[in-house]
Chains A and B, each alone.
Chain A
Amino acid sequence: MTPPQRPAPQPGIYDTPYWRYTAAGELRLQRCGGCERFRYPPGPVCPDCLAQESSWERLSGAGTLLAWTVFHRQYFPAIEVPYLVGAVRTPEGPILIGNLIDTSAAELSHDMPLRAVFETLPTGRPADADTHTDSPGEGWRLCQWTPLETRPLHKERA
């Protein structure tokens, strides 16, 4: 029997590049070709200026902790409780969601500096994975966040 898998990333034409980049260990988001603002989640036009042109630009991997919650109820068989989810404000603008790893709730404080790290986890495949020849296949890498001060082993910087 295969172990339970994390839920698959949202499939779709706008999101596929995001997951392709994280699979390669890069945090990139769409940046508007008109007003140069980063946007998240990916979409067809810039919500600020409605320009359709955009490019996938790399983020610094820095962030600050806007809010967090500790899950005590298990919603997914593959994700055991308790676990931490944080909302992270990036200096580039977008707020990103990730698990807060190599830390604990007691060590967290609002607006503390964080950095992005990539974690390889077994997740389900998005429904359209097979239509992309460069699909990363088995494991997906999730962009996670960890306190800036700690230097965990086996993790690479964004």
Chain B
Amino acid sequence: MPDPQRLAALRDEIAIVGVGESDYSQDYALARRGERYSDAYGYAATAFRRALDDCGLTRDDIDGLIAGPATASERLGEVLGMDVRWADQADAVQAVLKAAIAIHAGVAECVALVYGNDQRTAGTAYGGRDAMGGERHLAYTYYAPWGLTSQGALYALLANRYQAVTGLTERELGQVAVAQRAFARLNPNAVMRGPLHIDDYLSAPYICEPLRLYDYCLVNDGGVALIVTTAERAARLGRPAVLLSGIGRADHNRDATSLRPRLVDFYRPAQRTAAEQVYTMAGAGPSDVDVLQIYDSFSVHVPLALEGFGFCPQGGAGELLADGALGPGGRLPVNTAGGHLSGSYMQGWGHQAECVRQLRGEAGERQIPHARTAQYVSDVAGKVTSLIYRRADA
């Protein structure tokens, strides 16, 4: 079992001191015109340079490197000209966890977490015969003879059952896309910034019913980098730091291909376990969270996370959504940069950057006033993870 005392010792010991992101909006326009601007390593390099500038550290200070899933840490080390003492590869949330563990264990002091992806211009397949991820998640490719493919279809099946069990309506689910678009309109770097009304949502075509066009994430190119170090070193930098206060993780891989965790459990048991861990470690609860970032490859992640992490009772997400609680000015701001649906699909990496920007008070027009505690929640294919961040002076 995870040791609560050891976890408590890790609380507020690790800090994110630098963030960098590529120019999503501009690069998307270039990609739409058929102009290939960069590749995964190029976007990663842009983000890394910006993250270094942001924190005031130099490349020589970096002794650890974690590469995102679309790049190899060895090649990334070569491209960025870094010979580090420790390196690894990870998805967004695992990257933060691994960096914290590595720093805590003493194998590195300043770790760069670098993500780059050219999924749009490279034509990465998220459905069809060669859908990516099939080797990890058999359900992505296993049912192709029946035409069941794409992660969207698996979430459509989930949404179909979930609506029946909880009574969530299409109009309520549509408020996820509407709220996130409203935030995206306040973010100059968001890819989708046109107005989106609930009627636009409801008149958009289904892709896999009951999910419509606006329930699906974007596919765009870009990069994100985070510089992670000790809270002690962060304090010496003399710049606003964001501390990692809580970590929660629980998997739900049993029966994953049969879709039981999605269609019968709605990932709830793993979410409850991860929620208990993250809140206990951080000494906080849902009511302390000022800004919530939820991994949203599809809109339906959002009601699942709201219920699974105790932001509302089970079956209560529809009411929160209908009240407009998630959008600008709402009482529970979610995915304040626009999320994957309207902001940028950086597979959870952008959500970490947004936590940091909000807690530093640097989120411009979309800034949530007095944000002191931010939480990230993801339930990607049964890997439920959550992080709680706090402002260093909070």
Contacts and interface: CB of A to CB of B under 8 A. Distances in A.
- Interaction A to B: yes
Interface of A: 6-10, 40-41, 47, 66-73, 75-76, 79, 83, 85, 87, 94-99, 105, 110, 123, 140, 142, 144
Given A72-B207, A110-B164, A7 B145 contact: yes
B153 interface: yes
B145 A41 contact: no
Contact of A99 (B129, B142, B147, B158): B147
A67 B157 contact: yes
A68 B160 contact: yes
B127 A142 contact: no
B150 A41 contact: no
Contact of B156 (A69, A79, A83, A123): A69
B127 to A, nearest CB: 5
B29 interface: no
Q: Which 8 pairs across A and B sit closest by C-beta, in order of nearness?
A: A7-B144, A67-B161, A70-B209, A69-B156, A79-B147, A95-B258, A67-B157, A67-B160
Contacts of B146: 85, 97-99, 142, 144
A17 B122 CA distance: 37
Nearest to B161: A67
Contact of A69 (B129, B208, B254): B208
B264 interface: yes
Nearest to A108: B160
Q: How large is the interface on B (under 10, 10 to 19, 20 to 34, 35 or more residues)?
A: 35 or more
A87 B164 CA distance: 14
A31 B254 CA distance: 17
A61 to B, nearest CB: 17
Contacts of B142: 10, 41
A74 to B, nearest CB: 9
Contacts of A94: 258
Interface in B121-158: 127-129, 138, 141-150, 153, 156-158
15 contacts: A6-B145, A7-B144, A10-B141, A41-B138, A83-B147, A95-B255, A95-B258, A97-B143, A98-B146, A99-B146, A99-B147, A110-B164, A142-B145, A142-B146, A144-B146
Given A67-B161, A105-B209, A95 B259 contact: yes
Contact of B208 (A9, A73, A110): A73
B129 A73 contact: no
Nearest to B130: A7
A8 B142 CA distance: 10
B161 A110 contact: yes
A75 B127 contact: yes
A105 B141 CA distance: 24
Nearest to A99: B146
A76 B128 contact: yes
Contacts of A95: 255, 258-260, 263-264
Given A41-B138, A41-B257, A85 B145 contact: no
Given A70-B206, A123-B145, 4 more contacts: A6-B144, A10-B144, A41-B257, A69-B208
A62 B250 CA distance: 34
A69 B207 CA distance: 10
Given A41-B257, A70-B208, A75 B160 contact: no
Nearest to B150: A75
B205 interface: yes
A99 B153 CA distance: 13
B157 A85 contact: yes
Contacts of B160: 67-69
Contacts of A72: 205-209
Q: Which of B142, B143, B146, B260 has the most CB of A within 10 A?
A: B146
Contacts of B210: 69
Given A66-B264, A69-B209, A72-B205, A40 B147 contact: no
Interface string B207-246: 1111100000000000000000000000000000000000
A94 B129 CA distance: 24
A40 B141 contact: no
Nearest to B155: A69
Contacts of B129: 7, 76
B303 to A, nearest CB: 16
Interface string B257-275: 1111001100000000000
Contacts of B254: 47
